[in-house]
């Protein structure tokens, strides 16, 4: 896993942060599967480091509900919880809609539309060559442009944090949720509404765009029931 001696900007990253980032990534991509045990000892053995930074990373992951820490019983990758997804979706929608309104009220919609269109063009290219990673980067940039236009770029990290639970869910459904053609069309429609200064229309399109993921919940539960929390699990997880 190569956890040792990673550095950023010449300065070595603390191990705890490296472990957090790596576990976070693996949980979101299902390299670590829901319910998989993550005891301090096993993780620290895997990574070849001591238990202390692992423990710290697990505590931080637990604070974001990606890990369940069960005192004296063990820690595990948190199962998917529909409630988490709905909360994440609601918060993201509320925040992004508020940003869009503010951006439109600021009255620079041509400028915003210009930037958005540029990003959509990039997305078409990335989709054409099948570069999903860059596509998602551009997707985040698309939404980030709205935050910029609203004059609230500082909020972007918070939105990304909120978005994590949705991203994790998205990784389950490699097709469907990720139909790049649909995403591009939705982005394009939002662009047009923004360009013609149609605040209400843009907002409605954005909401529809963000809510689309919820349509896949039932299918995901049917295809991967073992990844979702059951009532029995909920009982066992209480402290």
Partner DNA sequence: ACTTGACGACTACCATGGTAGTGTGCCATC
Partner DNA sequence: GATGGCACACTACCATGGTAGTCGTCAAGT
- Cβ pair 63, 20 in contact under 8 A: no
Decide the pairing of beta strands 11-12 and 7-8: antiparallel
Q: Tell me if 52 contacts DNA by CB under 7 A.
A: yes
Q: Tell me if 211 contacts its own copies by CB under 8 A.
A: no
Q: Tell me if 106 contacts DNA by CB under 7 A.
A: no
Q: How far is the CB of 36 from DNA (least distance, A)?
A: 12
Ordered alpha helix ranges (H), 150-224: 156-172, 180-195, 199-211, 217-223
Pick one of its own copies, DNA, none as the site partner of residue 73 (Cβ within 5 to 8 A by kind): DNA
Q: Which residue has the tokens 């099948």?
A: 130
Pick one of its own copies, DNA, none as the site partner of residue 133 (Cβ within 5 to 8 A by kind): none
Pick one of DNA, its own copies, none as the site partner of residue 220 (Cβ within 5 to 8 A by kind): none
Angstrom CA distances, 81 to 23, 51, 88, 114, 230, stand at: 19, 28, 11, 38, 9
Q: Please enumerate, as own/partner, the contacts of 60-69 that have beta carbons within 8 Å and a separation of 24 or more.
A: 60/16, 60/20, 61/20, 61/23, 61/24, 61/27, 64/161, 64/164, 65/165, 66/23, 66/24, 66/27, 66/164, 66/168, 67/23, 67/27, 67/38, 68/237
Q: Which of 52, 125, 215, 230 binds its own copies (CB under 8 A)?
A: 52
Give me the torsion for CA of 59, 140, 87, 95, rounded to 10°: 110
Interaction residues for DNA, span 68-97 (CB under 7 A) = 69-75
Pick one of its own copies, DNA, none as the site partner of residue 195 (Cβ within 5 to 8 A by kind): none
Rounded to the nearest 10 degrees, the angle between the axes of helix 82-105 and helix 156-172 is: 140
Distance, in Å, from the CA atom of 81 to the CA atom of 182, rounded to the nearest integer, reads 26
How many residues bind its own copies (CB under 8 A)? The answer is 26
Pick one of its own copies, DNA, none as the site partner of residue 51 (Cβ within 5 to 8 A by kind): DNA
Window of 26-34, 50-58, 110-118, 214-222 that interacts with DNA by CB under 7 A: 50-58
Window of 27-35, 133-141, 153-161, 189-197 that interacts with its own copies by CB under 8 A: 153-161
- Cβ pair 186, 65 in contact under 8 A: no
Pick one of DNA, its own copies, none as the site partner of residue 155 (Cβ within 5 to 8 A by kind): its own copies
Q: How far is the CB of 117 from its own copies (least distance, A)?
A: 26
Task: Give residues in contact with its own copies (CB under 8 A).
Answer: 11, 14, 16, 52, 55-56, 59-60, 63, 71, 83, 86-87, 90-91, 93-95, 97-99, 152, 154-155, 158, 239
Positions in the binding site for DNA (CB under 7 A): 11-12, 14-16, 37-42, 44, 49-53, 55-56, 59, 69-75
């Amino acid at each position: 896993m190569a956890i040792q001696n990673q550095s950023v900007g010449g300065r070595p990253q603390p191990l705890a942060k490296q472990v957090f980032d790596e576990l976070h990534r693996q949980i979101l991509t299902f390299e670590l599967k829901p319910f998989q045990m993550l005891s301090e000892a096993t993780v620290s053995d895997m990574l070849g480091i001591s238990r202390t930074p692992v423990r710290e990373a697990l505590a931080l992951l637990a604070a974001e509900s990606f890990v369940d820490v069960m005192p004296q019983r063990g820690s595990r990758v948190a199962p998917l919880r529909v409630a988490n997804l709905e909360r994440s979706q609601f918060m993201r929608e509320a925040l992004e809609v508020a940003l869009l309104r503010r951006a439109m009220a600021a009255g620079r919609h041509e400028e915003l539309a210009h930037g958005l269109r540029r990003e959509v063009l990039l997305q078409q290219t990335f989709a054409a060559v099948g570069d999903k990673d860059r596509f998602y980067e551009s997707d985040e940039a698309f939404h980030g442009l709205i935050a910029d236009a609203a004059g609230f770029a500082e909020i972007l990290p918070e939105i990304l944090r909120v978005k994590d639970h949705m991203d994790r869910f998205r990784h389950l459904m490699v097709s469907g949720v990720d139909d790049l053609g649909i995403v591009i069309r939705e982005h394009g429609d939002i662009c047009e509404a923004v360009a013609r200064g149609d605040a209400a229309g843009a907002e409605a399109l954005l909401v529809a765009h963000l809510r689309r993921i919820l349509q896949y919940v039932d299918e995901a539960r049917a295809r991967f029931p073992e990844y979702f929390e059951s009532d029995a699990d909920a009982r066992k997880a209480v402290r």
